[in-house]
Every structure is written in C-alpha cells, then in structure tokens.
C-alpha cells in the first residue's frame, strides 16, 4: 500500500471518528432519534470507506499488473 493510499485511509477513519463524536455532543434530539441517526451516518460512512478501499485495491492491482508486464517484457517472457 502506498503512502498516499495509507494516508487517505487514515484520514477517512479519523474523520469518521471525529464526526461521530462531534455529532454526539451537538445532537439536539432524543436518545432514540440519536441512535437512528448515528446508525444511518455510520452505515453511510462504512459504505464510503468500503468504496474507497475497493478503489484503492483496484489501483494497486492495476499497478501490480503493469509491473508484472514490465518484468515479463524485460525477461523475455511476454
């Protein structure tokens, strides 16, 4: 995993945690309403995280495949 992808993933996770904590302190609603809201927000953030993860994994796979192709061409195994 490159430094850029690791930084993006760490930033995403920190943002999710900070956002959840701020939301808890600023919530002008009842406990039940807050639970529903937190659940929805957590699900949305989870989906965003999954999408970012799969996007990053796809980029890594493309880079790996390109590197394999370059190695094959250099070694004459194309």
| For the chain, domain boundaries | 3-75
pLDDT at 1: 59
Whole-angstrom CA distances from 2 to 32, 42, 46, 63 are 41, 26, 22, 11
Considering only residues 67 and 2, tell me which one the structure prediction assigns the higher pLDDT: 67
CA distances from 39 to 20, 34, 46 (A): 10, 8, 10
> Which pLDDT score, from 0 to 100, does residue 4 have?
81
pLDDT single digits (tens) 30-64: 778 878 888 999 999 999 999 999 999 999 999 99
pLDDT at residue 37 in the model: 86
Confidence label for 78 from pLDDT (cuts 50, 70 and 90): low
**pLDDT higher at 43 or 6:** 43
User: How many whole angstroms separate alpha carbon 45 and alpha carbon 37?
Assistant: 12
């Amino acid at each position: 995993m490159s430094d850029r992808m690791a930084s993006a993933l760490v930033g995403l996770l920190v943002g999710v945690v900070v956002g959840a904590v701020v939301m808890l302190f600023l919530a002008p609603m009842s406990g039940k309403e807050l639970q529903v809201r937190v659940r929805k927000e957590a699900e949305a953030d989870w989906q965003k995280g999954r999408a970012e993860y799969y996007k990053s994994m796809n980029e890594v796979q493309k880079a790996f495949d390109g590197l394999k192709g370059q190695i094959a061409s250099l070694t004459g195994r194309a």
